[in-house]
Amino acid sequence: MIQIKSPREIEIMARGGEILAATVLLLEKSVRPGMTTLDLDKIADEFIRNHPGATPAFKGLYNFPASICTSINQEIVHGIPSKKRLIEEGDLVSIDIGVKLDGYYTDSATTVAVGKVDAESKKLLDVTKKALAAGINAATAENHIGDIGAAVQGVVGIPRVSAGAELRQAQTRRPPSAWTDDRHRADGERRHAGHPNDARSMDRGQCGRYALGAFRTYDRGDGQRTAHTDDFGALAAPTS
């Protein structure tokens, strides 16, 4: 269910979101060939902790050992940064980041093209971003959760591609055994597209926090590639 949040709580989440957005921008600018995914983790950890009261939300959560998740090419999500994992020219690097501020969580993900990438990878990134935007636009009062998934799938809508959209609680319940290394792959993908009017509606009279994500995969012949974007937001009660 969607948790009801007060204006004060949403304000705290908005401040956390500002730190989160700045962290995402910093990492997008920092990614380059030759660095490791652990290098990115250190950059994010230091930057987040330089903001009073803010800590990396992922570190230690269900024994997760890092401050961010890094997943390259065919890996979908929740890859663990490693000093052995080198970033190479042409890679697609998905970065998932969370910030905890005054007890509240914000979370976002982005996928970065490293240097020059092929046309199909560029298309992958473009369609995934458009799919996320469509899902966000569908997350309105009195709409249904299925409307969000349908909006995402409506943008993707081509063969050999999977799309996912979900509303989830701030703290996803995952046992320690569920965390993966950098072999978390796209194999065995499932569709979660949704259908209009499916599931519960979003109540106009509530303030809630939602998470919405979109991912897309394709196979270029030498293994699947994945782009992942997501964001947190708030569904606010009407002012009138």
DSSP letters along 83-103, please? TT-B--TT-EEEEEEEEEETT
Nearest Cα to Cα of residue 142 among 193, 200, 82, 203: 203
* Cα–Cα distance, 38 to 44 (Å, whole number): 10
Torsion of CA 182, 183, 189, 195, to 10 degrees: -20
Q: Which residues 6+ apart lie within 8 Å of 45 measured at CB?
A: 56, 59, 67, 68
The distance of Cα 47 from the centroid of its chain, to the nearest Å, equals: 19
| CA distances from residue 178 to 58, 62, 108 in whole angstroms, order as listed | 14, 9, 20
Q: Could you report the per-residue pLDDT of 172-198, keeping only the tens digit for each?
A: 334 444 444 443 334 333 344 455 655
pLDDT of the residue at 165:
42
Domains and CATH numbers, the chain: 7-235 (3.90.230.10)
The residues with which 141 forms a beta bridge, in sequence order, are none
pLDDT digits (tens, 9 = 90+) for 78-88: 899 999 999 99
Give yes or no for a contact between 194 and 147, defined as CB atoms under 8 angstroms apart: yes
Asked if 105 contacts 55 with a C-beta cutoff of 8 angstroms, the reply is: no
Would you say 171 and 103 are in contact if contact means Cβ atoms under 8 Å apart?
A: no
Residue 20's closest CA among 107, 80, 127, 102?
107
Q: What percent of the chain has pLDDT over 90?
A: 49
Residue 166, pLDDT above cutoff 90 = no
What's the DSSP call for residue 183?
Answer: T
Whole-number Å distance between alpha carbons of 105 and 48: 13
pTM of the model: 0.71
* C-alpha neighbours within 13 Å on the C-beta side of residue 211: 19
For position 174, what pLDDT does the model report? Answer: 40
Question: Measured over all CA atoms, what is the biggest interatomic distance in the chain, rounded to whole angstroms?
Answer: 55
Distances (CA, A) of 111 to 75, 80, 115, 140, 167: 12, 15, 13, 26, 20
Average confidence (pLDDT) over 12-38 = 97
Q: Assign residue 145 a region: left if phi > 0, alpha if psi is -120 to 50, beta otherwise? A: alpha
3-state SS, residue 13 = helix
User: Which class for 198: exposed (0-12), middle (13-18), buried (19 or more C-beta within 10 A)?
Assistant: middle
Is the pLDDT higher at 111 or at 204?
A: 111
Higher local confidence (pLDDT), 201 or 167: 201
